[in-house]
Structure 1
Amino acid sequence: MLRSDRADRGLLADIRESTDWIARYIDGLSSDAFEADSLRRDATAFRLLIIGEAAGKLSPAVTGKLPDIDWRGMLGLRHRLAHDYGSTDFSVIWAIASIEVPRLAQALENL
């Protein structure tokens, strides 16, 4: 099934919204403070789950425009968070939220 431009726009909007929320959740925090704050950890993980779900539904036309973005990794993280949350390493979540999410947000602005 081919995705429509409309579907892609909605999915990209979901991803952008989630990157914005993650930026708010981690603003001003250190990695230690993030790991100690279960509310922000869980909220960030949820938004990463949303990003992975949306990324997995984007058309190849969209993902092909941003070949440096790890789309498969986002989907893999989504599966991990959804199906094996108990083994989540929050230092990895911190690294993704503080390094990869801003890169994703910037890439989407240039799309």
Structure 2
Amino acid sequence: MNRDRFKFRVWDKIGDQYYPASVFCASDLADPDDSTVVEQCTGLKDRDGKLIYEGDIVSFRSRGLFFKGTVVWTQEEVPGEINLGGFGIRLPEDQEYEFMDYSRDRDSLEVIGNIHEK
């Protein structure tokens, strides 16, 4: 089993920085206040070996085209998202894409930022 899938990080809105979830108690993670955002790891790593979390902005190449989107939690396939088995990549509305072929496309995933640090 991939234990990375059960890792979390916490964005502190007041301090404008990330903290590992280990510095918070479980009740804080289960019921975060308005000053924090809890983000779960997808269990996947990008092409450079960096863990991919909710809120990360990723780029990837598929079928000869480059795409960029935000990693989000999704319960179902939604137009504009690529299903990652619970996680998806929300693409900008001007990009159309139907399916991500993991055997080919996953190796090109690269974390290029996150929604908090721009």
- Whether the TM-score (by the shorter chain) exceeds 0.5 is no
More strand by share: 2
> Structure 1-normalised TM-score?
0.27
Give the structure, 1 or 2, with the largest relative contact order (CA under 8 Å, sep 6 or more): 1
> Structure 2-normalised TM-score?
0.26
The structure with more radius of gyration: 2
